[in-house]
Amino acid sequence: MTANEYKERIDASLGGYFELGSQYSLHGLADAMRYSLLAGGKRIRPMLVLEFCRITGGDPDAAMPVACAIEMLHTYSLIHDDLPCMDNDDLRRGRPTNHRVFGECTATLAGDALQAEAFGTILRSSLPAERRAAYAEHLANAVGLDGMCGGQYLDMLGEGKILNREELDEINSRKTGALLTAACLMGVCAAGGTAEQEEAAARYGAALGAAFQIRDDMLDVLSTEQELGKPIGSDQKESKNTYMSLLGEKQCDETVKKLTAYAKDVLACAFSDTDFLCDLADSLAQRRT
């Protein structure tokens, strides 16, 4: 299956969530949730769930609720990142940010609800109970104190300070890498994979996440608002620590290439059909959006 085919199936599945008619008192909150959930995007995380499930020998269709759940959680993080108390951004994926359309209070609640519904989507699915518990644990580890929220907190503490490479890596391994790694692990888990396959998936996810963040920092300097679908130059404006400010463009580019090569190499240790995941790593390393 191609990336576009995966994306179409993921978008179709996501479109079935939180559809409330105007007669329901909560339709305004549901509208805010769907506004950001269905705003497009690459769908990398759900794609990773489905593809790792497939190459581990599982049924991607059965894992679709897990894929949708991780996209709900990712969307919650984007809504909250854009809030005035965080990055205070006006544009996301080429559209006004959630709080600019629905107001700060509703946007905050939309993010909160999407986080809760991510776990609910897994736990309400027809998947075996022991696997539902494992998916939920992977997701909680990725987003909680030691994951994405912890990384966001460290990022906030680092503003206005000069951080070294180790400190920057720690922030971004949590803030960006943790959820990508969880997506890979959840895909292997969906197919009942081995410990060796879980290790390879985790290493791939971590390397992909590191390369993704470095490329993101590069694009904030090198891309345009039209290409990126959100404001550029915001990192420098907010005095944020980035790989571009620490390493410069040339070293960033070299590091992305090394991480991408490593991500592809580790897959060969535990999987045989890795063309899609290798192509995905290459495309993310060269992306302009």
Instruction: With H, G, I as helix, E, B as strand and everything else as coil, classify residue 207.
Output: helix
Looking at residue 289, what is its pLDDT? 82
Cβ-contact 76, 112 below 8 angstroms? yes
Structure tokens that stand for 270 in this block:
């535990």
pLDDT for residue 205:
97
Mean pLDDT throughout 258-268?
96
Q: Quick one: pLDDT at residue 24?
A: 87
Helix (H) or strand (E) holding 96: strand 95-96
Residue-level pLDDT at 22: 78
Least confident of 48-62, 85-99, 211-225, 231-245: 231-245
Mean pLDDT on 120-141: 94
What is residue 241's predicted lDDT score, i.e. its pLDDT? 87
Spatial separation of the C-alpha atoms in residues 281 and 279, rounded to whole Å: 5
pLDDT surpasses 90 at 159: no
Mean pLDDT of the chain: 93
Distance of alpha carbon 92 from alpha carbon 97, whole angstroms? 5
Which string of b and e fits 156-172 if b means at least 16 CB within 10 Å?
A: eebeeeebeeebbeebb
pLDDT of residue 1: 84
Residue 200 above 90 pLDDT? yes
Name the percent of the chain lying above pLDDT 90.
84
Supply the pLDDT for residue 160.
84
Neighbours of 19 (CB within 10 A): 11
Dump the DSSP string for 232-270. SSHHHHTT---HHHHH-HHHHHHHHHHHHHHHHHHHTTT
Residue 238 has pLDDT above 80, yes or no: no
Of 211, 204, 289, residue with least CA distance to 253: 211
Residue 26's pLDDT is 94
pLDDT digits (tens, 9 = 90+) for 170-189: 999 999 999 999 999 999 99
Q: Is 43 exposed, middle or buried (0-12, 13-18, 19+ CB in 10 A)?
A: buried
* 116, pLDDT greater than 90: yes
Per-residue pLDDT for 226 more than 70? no
Confidence grade of residue 23 (pLDDT, cut at 50, 70, 90): confident
pLDDT value at position 151?
Answer: 94
Q: Using the predicted structure, report yes or no on whether residue 230 has a pLDDT greater than 70.
A: no
The full set of domain ranges for the chain reads 3-285
How far apart are alpha carbons 104 and 36 in whole angstroms?
14
CATH code for the part of the protein at 3-285: 1.10.600.10
Q: What is the pLDDT of residue 94?
A: 85
Band of pLDDT at residue 225, cut at 50, 70 and 90: low
Q: Which residue has the tokens 């509703």?
A: 106
Residue 237 has a pLDDT of 61
- pLDDT higher than 70, residue 53: yes
Residue 227 reports pLDDT greater than 90: no
Q: How confident is the model at residue 263 (pLDDT cuts 50, 70, 90)?
A: very high
Helix (H, G, I), strand (E, B) or coil at 21: coil
